[in-house]
Structure 1
Amino acid sequence: MPRYDFRCRACGSTFEVSRPMASSDDPAVCPEGHADTVKLLTTVAMTGSASAPRPSGGCCGGGCCS
């Protein structure tokens, strides 16, 4: 289940809420009980590299198709 970050405008605390994507825009109440919150934009940092696996042999990978 996705997690969304929120910040409370009343007390300034930042907190996470786990909920289905269909409910991602629903309001959230901060742990202190304040209702004036805003959903934060979160980013994902990815490191390393990935590539598609290279074919190894077989008709389409071995070059026998013409």
Structure 2
Amino acid sequence: MAIYEFYCPTCREKFEQRRPMSAVNEPASCSRGHRAERVLSMFAAPRGAVATADSPAGGCCGGGACACASAN
């Protein structure tokens, strides 16, 4: 299951829906039943966060195989 973000232009409401990736192009409705449009979701990382080889996830890029962590 993936989380997709939608926007209702009638209500000016943004909301999220969990749905299978196979249903990505199916229409969505807001809580009032209006047709909503899928929007590009944004994500954020904490400012100043640096990936390290000893981080719980194993470093950046799945184990530190790239030079991302040594960019600082």
Q: TM-score range by the shorter chain?
A: 0.5 to 0.7
How many equivalent pairs are there? 52
Root-mean-square deviation (CA, aligned residues, Å) is: 1.7
1:9 aligns with 2:9: yes
Any idea what SS the aligned residue of 1:22 has? helix
**TM, length-normalised to structure 1:** 0.65
- C-alpha displacement at 1:12, in angstroms? 0.4
Alignment map for 1:18-37 (pairs within 5 Å): 18-35=18-35, 37=36
Any idea what SS the aligned residue of 1:3 has? strand
Greater share of strand: 2
Structure 1 partner of 2:70: none
Q: For 1:25 and 1:3, how far apart are their aligned partners in 2?
A: 13
Letter in 1 for 2:50: G
Alignment map for 1:23-62 (pairs within 5 Å): 23-35=23-35, 37-46=36-45, 47-49=49-51, 50-51=59-60, 52=63
**TM, length-normalised to structure 2:** 0.61
Any idea what SS the aligned residue of 2:22 has? helix
Gap regions ≥5 residues in structure 2: 52-58, 65-72
Which aligned segments of 4 or more residues in structure 1 are displaced greater than 6 angstroms? none
- C-alpha displacement at 1:43, in angstroms? 2.8
Q: Which has the higher contact order (CA 8 A, sep 6+)?
A: 1
